């Protein structure tokens, strides 16, 4: 899916919204450069290692992603 450029990620996101297709949704969010939403989805799915790996890989181009991940962690888990 990442190699094909003849599709509209936003249209596909709308079609698979609120479905079981979480991995696909994350891929499309990344295609749309909606990194914060992708990270939040990883956290919501309790895929913490995946979220951290994603941020680590992407942090070469976007230093603020690890900070974003920490903010999401704090917002979701400070009440525990």
The Cα 22–Cα 17 span in angstroms is 9
The Cα 34–Cα 11 span in angstroms is 14
The Cα 72–Cα 68 span in angstroms is 6
Which sign does the torsion angle of CA 67, 69, 75, 80 carry? negative
pLDDT recorded at residue 1:
47
The tens place of each residue's pLDDT in the chain, 80 residues long, gives 455 567 788 888 888 888 889 999 999 999 999 999 999 999 999 999 999 999 988 866 666 898 999 999 999 877 65
The helix-helix angle for 35-44 and 48-58 (nearest 10°) equals 160
For the chain, the maximum distance between any two Cα atoms, rounded to a whole number of angstroms, is 45
């Amino acid at each position: 899916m990442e190699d094909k450029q003849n599709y509209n990620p936003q249209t596909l996101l709308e079609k698979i919204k609120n479905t079981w297709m979480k991995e696909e949704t994350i891929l499309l969010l990344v295609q749309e450069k909606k990194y914060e939403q992708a990270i939040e989805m990883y956290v919501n799915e309790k895929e913490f290692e995946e979220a951290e790996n994603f941020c680590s890989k992407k942090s070469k181009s976007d230093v603020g992603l690890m900070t974003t991940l920490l903010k999401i962690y704090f917002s979701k888990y400070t009440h525990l």
